[in-house]
Structure 1
Amino acid sequence: MVSDNPSSLPTTALSPNNQFPDQVENLTFSNVYDTSLDISWQKPFEITGHLIGYELEWYQMNNTQLSLSNRSIIEIEPELTTYKINNLSATTWYIISVRAKTRKGFGAKRSASIESGYPPEMPSPPTNLEIISIEKRSVTIKFSPGYTGKTNILRYIVQIQMRSNNSQWDNIQSFNIEQSKLIIRDLYSNKLYRIRMLAVNIKGTSNASIPTEFFRTKPDVPSSVPQILLAQAINSSAIRVRWMPIATNEWNSISSTGKDIGYILSINDSIGRNIKIEDPLKTEFIFNNLSPANTLFLIRLHTYNRIGMSKISIETIEKTFENG
């Protein structure tokens, strides 16, 4: 059995100035028998200097506790990226680590645990995905782990699909998890989604799980306002205001009456007017009876829906003409 980077494993931190090599890549095991196994890896992406070799280390791990007895450390030439470890104890857990070395020193270890005699297999995907909580921009799901493939699951991949024409499955999260519940964040409000998951172990990635049913995130206030707000004086007491409508998906709400979404225009005249425009397609309004003449006015535009008013606004200023 195999697990990658167990949380209890000691690691060597990278230097803040990045003078040491990165971790080796793609640490894998093959030909796993009771008393031997083959280990392979790839060079670090970033070496920063001349690679002079690798250090390979292994020792027993008993009852999930690290035991430093029977520790073995060997130096490996830089052109080699495979090694056969012999004389292992049968059906015993080992911690095995590889790290690169330059003249500056060692890079961080890439470590994994494995039980001798148990070659890893491909995992199965999680099952019984269930939505247990839905918010405006997040959802909480629970699931049952699938077959681990005689090894630890390294991480899960979460994929999400928005309900629309020709929508694709997108990878949104890849994470290590101990419990069978997770929160998926950064969703759009008032949208239909469904979710599926994949499991990853050292052997590879499972097929995708059966997806959840489609669910709708809760509505929220509009996420945007018009990008352009133009104001033009008509005479000494009137100003015409124009704007471009926002996109349909930015209203974050479904209008059931035709009056649930729209705009709120305000102007800092002596009355302090706030005008509610109950038409999302309207693009113009005229403020009349402004006073005094030849005055600079501040005009502000918000959007709103049945949840409330947008947190952001757009502003402009315009001066009315002098009297006659």
Structure 2
Amino acid sequence: METMEIEESIYQKTTEIDKELKIQLKITGLEPPKIQILKNKREFTNYNFQDNVLTISKPGEIPDNGCYEFIATNSVGRATLKINIRIKDKKSKPPTRPSPPPPPIILTPQPDLSVNISWSPPHDDGGSPITKYLIEKFHDNQWQRVSEVAMEINSYTIGNLEESTEYTFRISAENKIGKSEWTTSEGYKAVVLGVVVPPPRPPFEILAMTQNSFTLRWKPAEEKVSGYLVEKREEGKKAWQECGRSLGWGESWVDVGGLKGGVGYFFRVCSLGVGGGVSEWVGVREEAVKIGGVVTAPSPPQNLQILTITSKSVTIQWSPPKSTGGAQLTSYIVEKLVSMEKWEKIVTLETSVTQFTITNLVNKEWQFRVFAENPIGLSQPAFTECCQLKSHATPPSPPTAPLESRQIALNEIIVTWGIPESDGGARIESYVIAIRDVKKTMWMEVGQVNWDCQKLAVRELEDGNEYLIRIFARNEVGLSEPLESEELVKICNARMGRTPRRSPATVTSRSPKPG
């Protein structure tokens, strides 16, 4: 799921006519998102987004004022962020009252005889920032105050309505000069929703806490729904504000960003019905969640990717999670998808290990996932793309000439060779070295070296004897044909200065240990 973080100071941004406006955003996620911007709930295209910097190109009219909703979407989910932008005229004018919020006011029925109302910011703030919105309802032949909400809030849920009773709602924007004219909604009749949408289920888990964000996870609804909506309310305030939504019945988590460190928040979640409507709200906790003050499970591992694929194995690699949840990581857990919805644990790894090869796979499509773990619990998983194993792998071709050897000490030679021209469709794992005394008929293996080393030191050979040498390359399928020395290798200690005690042949590798 994508997350976006933004400093509180730029929930409202001011610029001048004909000047570019640049806003630094922060987006995190494993998959690059698709970007969309809505201005006052309509498509807006006069922008550029690169390297997490949003540039609005030379706004030229006061009507460019308004609420800009920045939307990032990928295959995992969606994140949104709203910024109120005010365009100042270069000519010095005294501030005035703002224009009214533009119609329409959107009315969305909610459970328990309540309704959610949403609106857009005024086109013109009068030259002074909007400070709050006033909400009223018309009932019993009079207008009644419902609430006042902060300038960054553009929706509010009104409860305790009377069944089958007609209501009208209105919104006014206010700056330091005064209140705007009212924008009035259409009539609304409070009804009990006929379609029962199953709610999300506890337990609610708070994961990957940072100084201004965390991941909220819960159990999916008992029956299929189209997604979930999450709202937040700052401790000490009354207004609820949308802070995230997920699309899909099983997508039972949301990354919540843009929070204030050290501040307490209440959260609630509802399900979105397949055919419309919403479920009842379910509170996450009775007490406020203080941001940055809770030890949680970590965030998912980052940058999970497939490095190599062979006919029987896949090597994956990842980076540590963005947040450890405030506790030290204890392990990584790797799993593979073995059927449509069944995952099987492969291995638990130490936190120093961020690369692993899954072996003994059959020729089919595979997908893998990795969890990070700390003493509190598991993170959300990071997923690889689906991959197809390579087919028809064969043993590699022989190592390449020249096969060279020279005596470097008493009874000791060093042997070198080149890498194969073909790995046979599977990664080279090691080289096998064998020698044969020409007086004998049997070849003797004297050592193996890792794939990235093409030399071996053979010690304690017999003085005066002659030898032949063979080098084999090995992949997961098997051994190649050998590369064989064309000339005999004769041991001559006299050239080294003295004659040592004779002993059986042994071998020493100066390469890394075989994998």
TM-score by length of 2: 0.24
Query: Whose RCO is larger (CA < 8 A, sep 6+)?
Result: 1
Which has the higher Rg, Structure 1 or Structure 2? 2
TM-score by length of 1: 0.36
